[in-house]
């Protein structure tokens, strides 16, 4: 018989569990990771583009607002200078009324108005500061304004010591150039930029081309050096909004939206922390990470749990398989032993027959007259009888052995098991009464017929009943109860005795051929193994429960639907 090695050590199951866990994790993680990363990447890009587009639009709008504001203010002053002649302006009272007019018409942005001659001396001034006759000839804006028709200065402190910027218009009265100059209230201008606020960290500010701040900031001053270095070094187109991302300030990763103002002289910069700008995105991402983490945990737990369970199941079935293999080996061993025994028995039968015949022949010769008077005649006769009797005992053993393989009347018939049992009980009753044993039949009615060989069944039950009778001490007496019942397409016959029981050490060996607890010469040790062989052949089961001193129950299971052997 080819018996595959199926006993595995712990390391095997350990490896199996590990492999299963790894495979399950890979199988579950691959799609999870792919989906998570692809969708989050796409979502990330789409969301960022949308947010930036939104800010871009906002910045664009503000750029227009500020440009418009500057243009408007310029236009106002231009109008003033065009409509008034120099003598008209060179009169502080008239200038005062013009300033009031301007304020009234175009809002309170105009702080003061001054008229400056080509030597840089402010000849007339109306406004809150005392700036009459101030010499501006060395001021940069003055030189710039003298060269151009009109000029909008950067924000500076100037003589007054307050941040402001100037709109200056050059005007000619034929011989000399004059400058009409107005100051724009920085605080009010600042409000325009201050309005651009998004989220918590989004802020806008204006710098000139040198990187000097043109607006006041509410909170922490941006690092003008980095702005100069990174943003102003880039080529900023006159139209449209450029987007930069990067960590220009030391602590935060920021996005910058940059556009030009005031004909390219100023740069409007909108800065927002990425964290703030994309806070929704990052929240979603964090949620995603949490879900991913929880999912991973549950995958791990499930993978380990399921693998363990599966491996346990495999281990269990391996053990069952092993057990079954053992039983198959046991059955095979019994079958081959049976064949061997039958072969040997057959071969031994002939020599035994000859020996018995020879002993008989010697007996025949002894009968003759001349030997009858011999002194040892009786002794010869006894010895020959002994030879003959022992030969007959051998014959019994060989004949029982032959039952393993013999095919006596093994014709299969549909029979009522109860009928067979009743017959066997009838046969055994005499012997039972002799052993002070009562046989009780407790047979279920209406059992289906079974497809077996009646004589084989007879042999089985006769054997079991004989064993039961032998197990009961004839002095004490006892009883044998035979009962039949239907259970799962099997007819179960229980043969229960109140005898001495079987010692646990012997319990495993009772079906082994030649195993007997009876005295030498009383039993061959073949009865139960023959029963075992017969029951196994028809696809049944035979099992035993026994308690020493209390008795033994044999359970014989016989299938109702016969299995082909």
514 vs 401: CA distance, rounded Å: 10
Cα 101 to Cα 94, 105, 110, 124, distances in angstroms? 10, 6, 10, 17
Residue 59 binds other proteins, judged by CB under 8 A? no
Residue 540 binds other proteins, judged by CB under 8 A? no
Smaller CB distance to other proteins: residue 326 or 367? 367
The angle at the Cα of 127, spanning 125 to 130, to the nearest 5 degrees, equals 70
**Considering the complex, what minimum distance in angstroms separates the CB of residue 462 from other proteins?**
17
Q: With H, G, I as helix, E, B as strand and everything else as coil, classify residue 119.
A: coil
Which residues lie below 8 Å from residue 230, measured CB to CB, with a gap of 6+? 244, 246, 248
Cα 556 to Cα 238, 457, 543, distances in angstroms? 104, 11, 7
From the list 406, 555, 557, 562, which residue makes contact with other proteins (rule: CB under 8 A)? Answer: 406
Smaller CB distance to other proteins: residue 149 or 357? 357
284 vs 157: CA distance, rounded Å: 47
Residue 225 binds other proteins, judged by CB under 8 A? no
Smaller CB distance to other proteins: residue 310 or 405? 405
Q: Which of 46-54, 79-87, 339-347, 439-447 is the region at the interface with other proteins (rule: CB under 8 A)?
A: 339-347
Residue position matching structure tokens 């039993």: 523
- What does the per-residue mask of binding to other proteins show for 359-378, with x meaning CB under 8 A? -xx--x--------------
Q: Answer whether 272's CB lies under 8 Å from 254's CB.
A: yes
In this structure, what are the phi and psi dihedrals at residue 213, rounded to the nearest 5 degrees?
A: -70, 135
Q: Which of 41-49, 119-127, 389-397, 473-481 is the region at the interface with other proteins (rule: CB under 8 A)?
A: 389-397
Smaller CB distance to other proteins: residue 313 or 336? 336
Residue 342 binds other proteins, judged by CB under 8 A? yes
Q: Which of 230-238, 323-331, 387-395, 442-450 is the region at the interface with other proteins (rule: CB under 8 A)?
A: 387-395
CB count in 10 Å sphere of residue 37: 11
From the list 328, 354, 444, 486, which residue makes contact with other proteins (rule: CB under 8 A)? Answer: 354
**Considering the complex, what minimum distance in angstroms separates the CB of residue 470 from other proteins?**
23
DSSP string, 56-108: HHHHHHHHHHHHHHHHHHHHHHHHHHHHS-HHHHS-HHHHHHHHHHHHHHH-T
495 vs 544: CA distance, rounded Å: 10
Residue 405 binds other proteins, judged by CB under 8 A? yes
Q: Which of 134-142, 332-340, 354-362, 557-565 is the region at the interface with other proteins (rule: CB under 8 A)?
A: 354-362
Residue 344 binds other proteins, judged by CB under 8 A? no
Going by C-alpha positions, the residue among 158, 161, 252, 156 that lies closest to residue 213 is 156
Residue 395 binds other proteins, judged by CB under 8 A? yes
Residue 53 binds other proteins, judged by CB under 8 A? no
Cα 316 to Cα 3, 309, 323, distances in angstroms? 19, 10, 10
From the list 408, 440, 486, 547, which residue makes contact with other proteins (rule: CB under 8 A)? Answer: 408
Q: Which of 15-23, 135-143, 194-202, 401-409 is the region at the interface with other proteins (rule: CB under 8 A)?
A: 401-409
Smaller CB distance to other proteins: residue 121 or 362? 362
Q: Per the structure block, which two tokens stand in for 247?
A: 């960590």
**Considering the complex, what minimum distance in angstroms separates the CB of residue 451 from other proteins?**
20
- What does the per-residue mask of binding to other proteins show for 262-301, with x meaning CB under 8 A? ----------------------------------------
20 vs 31: CA distance, rounded Å: 18
Residue 437 binds other proteins, judged by CB under 8 A? no
CB count in 10 Å sphere of residue 218: 9
Residue 399 binds other proteins, judged by CB under 8 A? yes
Smaller CB distance to other proteins: residue 111 or 402? 402
Smaller CB distance to other proteins: residue 244 or 380? 380
Rg (CA), the chain: 60
**Considering the complex, what minimum distance in angstroms separates the CB of residue 402 from other proteins?**
4
493-514 burial by CB neighbour count: b if 16+ within 10 A, else e? bebbbbbbbbeeeeeeebbbbe
From the list 335, 353, 412, 507, which residue makes contact with other proteins (rule: CB under 8 A)? Answer: 353
Residue 172 binds other proteins, judged by CB under 8 A? no
Give 353-364 as a 3 state SS string. HHHHHHHHHHHH
Residue 335 binds other proteins, judged by CB under 8 A? no
Residue 339 binds other proteins, judged by CB under 8 A? no
Q: Answer whether 516's CB lies under 8 Å from 523's CB.
A: yes
Which residues make up the interface to other proteins (CB under 8 A)? 342, 345-346, 349-350, 352-358, 360-361, 364, 391-392, 395, 398-399, 402-403, 405-409
């Amino acid at each position: 018989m080819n018996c595959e090695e199926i006993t595995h050590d712990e390391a095997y199951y350990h490896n199996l569990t590990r492999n299963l866990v790894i495979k399950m994790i890979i199988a579950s993680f691959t799609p999870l990771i792919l989906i998570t990363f692809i969708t989050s990447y796409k979502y990330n890009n789409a969301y960022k583009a949308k947010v930036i587009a939104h800010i871009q639009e906002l910045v664009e709008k503000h750029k227009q607002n500020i440009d418009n504001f500057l243009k408007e203010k310029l236009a106002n002053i231009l109008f003033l200078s065009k409509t008034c002649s120099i003598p008209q302006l060179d009169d502080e009272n008239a200038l005062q009324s013009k300033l009031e007019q301007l304020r009234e018409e175009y809002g309170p942005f105009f702080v003061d108005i001054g008229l400056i001659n080509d030597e840089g001396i402010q000849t007339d001034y109306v406004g809150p500061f005392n700036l009459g006759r101030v010499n501006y000839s060395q001021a940069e804006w003055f030189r710039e304004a003298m060269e151009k028709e009109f000029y909008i200065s950067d924000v500076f402190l100037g003589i007054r010591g307050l941040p402001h910027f100037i709109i200056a218009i050059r005007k000619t009265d034929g011989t000399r150039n004059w400058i009409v100059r107005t100051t724009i209230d920085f605080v009010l201008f600042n409000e325009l930029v201050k309005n651009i606020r998004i989220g918590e960290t989004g802020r806008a500010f204006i710098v000139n081309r040198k990187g000097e701040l043109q607006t006041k900031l509410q909170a922490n001053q941006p690092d003008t050096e980095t702005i100069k270095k990174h943003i102003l070094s880039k080529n900023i187109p006159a139209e449209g909004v450029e987007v930069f991302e990067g960590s220009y300030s030391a602590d935060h990763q920021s996005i910058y939206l940059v556009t030009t103002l005031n004909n390219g002289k100023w740069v409007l910069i909108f800065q927002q922390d990425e964290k703030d700008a994309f806070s929704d995105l990052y929240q979603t991402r964090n949620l995603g990470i949490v879900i991913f983490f929880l999912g991973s945990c549950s995958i791990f737990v499930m993978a380990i749990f399921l693998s363990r369970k599966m491996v346990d199941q495999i281990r269990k079935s391996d053990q069952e398989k092993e057990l079954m293999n053992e039983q198959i080996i046991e059955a095979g061993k019994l079958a081959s032993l049976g064949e061997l025994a039958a072969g040997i028995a057959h071969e031994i039968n002939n020599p035994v027959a000859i020996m018995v015949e020879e002993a008989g022949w010697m007996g025949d010769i002894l009968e003759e007259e001349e030997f009858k008077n011999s002194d040892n005649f009786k002794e010869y006769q006894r010895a020959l009888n002994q030879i003959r009797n022992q030969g007959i005992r051998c014959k019994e053993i060989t004949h029982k052995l032959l039952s393993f393989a013999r095919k006596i009347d093994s014709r299969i018939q549909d029979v009522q098991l109860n009928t067979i049992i009743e017959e066997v009980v009838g046969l055994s009753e005499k012997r039972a009464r002799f052993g002070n044993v009562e046989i009780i039949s407790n047979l279920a009615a209406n059992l289906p017929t079974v497809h077996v060989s009646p004589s084989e069944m007879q042999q089985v039950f006769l054997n079991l009943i004989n064993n039961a009778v032998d197990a009961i001490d004839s002095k004490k007496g006892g009883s044998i109860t035979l009962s039949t019942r239907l259970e799962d397409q099997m007819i179960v016959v229980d043969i229960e005795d109140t005898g001495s029981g079987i010692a646990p050490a012997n319990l495993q060996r009772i079906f082994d051929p030649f195993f007997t607890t009876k005295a030498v010469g009383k039993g061959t040790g073949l009865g139960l193994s023959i029963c075992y062989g017969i029951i196994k052949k028809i696809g049944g089961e035979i099992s035993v429960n026994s308690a020493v001193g209390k008795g033994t129950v044999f359970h014989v299971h016989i299938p109702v639907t016969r299995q082909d052997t």
